[in-house]
Amino acid sequence: MTKQQANWSPYDNNGGTCVAIAGADYCVIAADTRMSTGYSILTRDYSKISQLADKSVMASSGFQADVRALQKVLAARHLIYQHQHNKQMSCPAMAQLLSNTLYYKRFFPYYAFNVLGGLDNEGKGCVFTYDAVGSYERVGYSSQGSGATLITPFLDNQLKSPSPLLLPAKDAVTPLSESEAIDLVKTCFASATERDIYTGDKLEIVILNASGLRREYMELRKD
Amino acid sequence: MFRNQYDTDVTTWSPAGRLFQVEYAMEAVKQGSAAIGLRSKTHVVLACVNKASSELSSHQKKIFKVDDHIGVAIAGLTADGRVLSRYLRNECINYSYTYESSLPVGRLVVQLADKAQVCTQRSWKRPYGVGLLVGGLDESGAHLYYNCPSGNYFEYQAFAIGSRSQAAKTYLERKFEGFMDAREDLIKDALFALRETLQGEKLTSSICTIAIVGVGEAFHILDQETVQALIDEFEIVGEEPPADEAATPDQSSDAEPGPADQGTPSDQGATPMDI
């Protein structure tokens, strides 16, 4: 008597990779724009990045239907917060909200692998990294998604001081400048695109700093 | 209105076919401080008198942002108004979540009216003691509605509720045909109408609140400095409102969407607990 197997799965993996790096007064959040299913490409131009608040930007890979639903829930919750408190949610507050929202569906999770980036209450860059059910931690940099295994070791090597590999991390955030961090992110994705079939097409980079939010794009290999 | 044997219960009709409890609830609206709404083709302005009960206390919040495209001004039991604003906000959020578009104002007021009606037909409830002027923008243009405790609602070009609102209504009746014009004039008319309800008392930005919503302009409450500048402008001109569009101070600073900003402390007669 063999165990009954599901003939249908509520989840699908649309692939893709997300990265975020925190600096002294900026935060860089990046993700590729390829959306796939199985070995096929659904679209080359889908944004995985969502601005949740003035100073909080989330990038999520995984099952994009769940990602979209999660973004909508957080947007609605943020509106409620604004009505009640008369101000925007801070990034650490949003980080906690995201964690709670994910754990709320502990027994039918959002298939979403998130990195939340932004500026904390003091204006310093912050990055929070999550698993699918809401376990989270503030870090100096993070990567999630299909290319994460390729990118994370490279970031550990390049961003030596905030790396948790020297326990505890020497710096909370990277001492790199904003433009250096952006170049590093571009390098990460260029490399990940070479070896990960689910990463490519185009790179979307969001930079958050004291002057506001800025977006940059870079073409990636389309194969 | 006098006490009679049919006014104890909201579910008791009088022989003349009246529900006295509902009418008493509407009296509560008349006792509240004035709130005014007016609209043009592209904008809706809400204004209200904000009198603090003592010098030591803060103002009652009477204007609430419901969504980027809708706001309400209330008169009567402000606690009821707060609760209803929370309901309205929730409805807008849920609609946006489901349909990814803004809730049309007309739909919202019907839902609100139905909610009010329920309270007129349950023996264990009481009617809401607050009148709401709902101003908003949707695909069919700018709208101003009045929702009353009875569960009725009406659309208006301009309206005033609360104490001494008749004076404001008289002013508005004279002026409403000209409301198709500039945003700045609409705000000025609101201030003039508000001044009518003060019956000679000096109009300053510390006792009133003005909010506006319009095409390309999310609902927001004007800050005290802007309001005072506008008041100064037309009070200098004199009793009559200016005939033509005078140059207005930097109106572009008003067009900031986002959370409201009420009663920020300024030099002129602001109460200590302004938030």
Give the pLDDT of residue B250. 40
Mean pLDDT of B207-222: 95
| A114 DSSP β-pair partners | A60
Provide DSSP, chain A. Answer: -PPPPPS--S------EEEEEEBSSEEEEEEE--EEETTEEEES----EEEEETTEEEEEEE-HHHHHHHHHHHHHHHHHHHHHHSSPPPHHHHHHHHHHHHHHTTTS---EEEEEEEE-TTS-EEEEEE-TT--EEEESEEEEETTHHHHHHHHHHHSTTT-TTSSSPS-SSB---HHHHHHHHHHHHHHHHHH-TTS-SEEEEEEEETTEEEEEEEE----
B93 to A76: CB separation less than 8 angstroms, yes or no: yes
For the stretch A63-78, pLDDT in tens is 999 999 999 999 999 9
Q: Which amino acid, A214?
A: R
Q: What is the Cα–Cα distance from A59 to A115, expressed in whole angstroms?
A: 5
pLDDT band at B36 (very low <50, low <70, confident <90, very high): very high
Give the pLDDT of residue B240. 52
B259 to A87: CB separation less than 8 angstroms, yes or no: yes
CA–CA distances in Å: residue A102 to residues A17, A76, A146, B185: 19, 15, 20, 49
Provide DSSP, B242-272. Answer: PSS-PPPS-GGGG---SS-------TTT--T
Side-chain-facing half-sphere of B68: CA atoms under 13 Å: 14
Query: Tokens standing for A190?
Result: 């260029």
Q: What is the Cα–Cα distance from A63 to B212, expressed in whole angstroms?
A: 41
CATH class of B24-234: alpha beta
B259 to A80: CB separation less than 8 angstroms, yes or no: no
Cβ-contact B194, B215 below 8 angstroms: no
A-chain residues near B94 (CB < 8 A): 76
Handedness of CA B253, B257, B258, B259 (dihedral sign): positive
Q: How many CB atoms lie within 10 A of CB B231?
A: 20
For the stretch A91-111, pLDDT in tens is 999 999 999 999 999 999 999
Instruction: Report percent pLDDT > 90 for chain A.
Output: 92
Q: Which helix (H) or strand (E) holds B141?
A: strand B141-147
Query: Tokens standing for B168?
Result: 């404001």
In this predicted structure, the answer to whether residue B177 has a pLDDT above a threshold of 70 is: yes
In this predicted structure, the answer to whether residue B261 has a pLDDT above a threshold of 80 is: no
A-chain residues near B65 (CB < 8 A): 83
For the stretch A113-172, pLDDT in tens is 999 999 999 999 999 999 999 999 999 999 999 999 999 999 999 987 777 777 777 778
Cβ-contact A111, A66 below 8 angstroms: yes
A-chain residues near B89 (CB < 8 A): 79-80, 83
The C-alpha of B85 sits at a distance from chain A's nearest C-alpha, in angstroms, of 10
In this predicted structure, the answer to whether residue B264 has a pLDDT above a threshold of 70 is: no
Closest-CA residue to B145 (of B110, B174, B117): B110
Q: Which residues of B fall below an 8 Å CB-CB distance to A? A: 65, 86, 89-90, 93-94, 96-97, 258-260
Give the pLDDT of residue B267. 42
A83 to B96: CB separation less than 8 angstroms, yes or no: no
CA–CA distances in Å: residue A93 to residues A87, A90, A120, A173, B254: 12, 5, 9, 19, 29
pLDDT band at B233 (very low <50, low <70, confident <90, very high): confident
Give the pLDDT of residue A165. 78
Give the pLDDT of residue A161. 78
Give the pLDDT of residue B254. 42
Give the pLDDT of residue B252. 41
In this predicted structure, the answer to whether residue B226 has a pLDDT above a threshold of 90 is: yes
For chain B, the domains span 24-234
What does the mean pLDDT of chain B come to?
A: 86
Least confident of A35-44, A138-147, B144-153, B225-234: B225-234
Q: Which amino acid, A199?
A: T
In this predicted structure, the answer to whether residue B242 has a pLDDT above a threshold of 70 is: no
Who has greater pLDDT, B54 or A64? A64
B97 to A80: CB separation less than 8 angstroms, yes or no: no
Query: Tokens standing for B154?
Result: 């009406």
| A206 DSSP β-pair partners | A29, A215
A17-220: in CATH 3.40.920.10: no
With a CB cutoff of 8 Å and minimum separation 6, the contacts of B83 are: none
A-chain residues near B223 (CB < 8 A): none
For the stretch B64-115, pLDDT in tens is 999 999 999 999 999 999 999 999 999 999 999 999 999 999 999 999 999 9
Q: What is the Cα–Cα distance from A92 to A13, expressed in whole angstroms?
A: 28
Query: Tokens standing for A163?
Result: 């790396």
Q: What is the Cα–Cα distance from B221 to B213, expressed in whole angstroms?
A: 9
Least confident of A2-16, A173-187, B172-186: B172-186
pLDDT band at B262 (very low <50, low <70, confident <90, very high): very low
Q: What is the Cα–Cα distance from B34 to A206, expressed in whole angstroms?
A: 47
B-chain residues near A88 (CB < 8 A): 259
Please report the residues numbered 69 through 88 in chain A whose beta carbons come closer than 8 angstroms to any beta carbon of chain B.
72-73, 76, 79-80, 82-83, 86-88
In this predicted structure, the answer to whether residue B275 has a pLDDT above a threshold of 60 is: no
B-chain residues near A83 (CB < 8 A): 65, 86, 89
B93 → closest Cβ in A80, A87, A88: A80
* B153-155 vs A35-37, strand pairing mode: unpaired
Give the pLDDT of residue B24. 95
Question: Is this complex scored with an ipTM above 0.90?
Answer: no
**Helix or strand or coil: residue B73?**
strand
Mean pLDDT of B57-69: 92
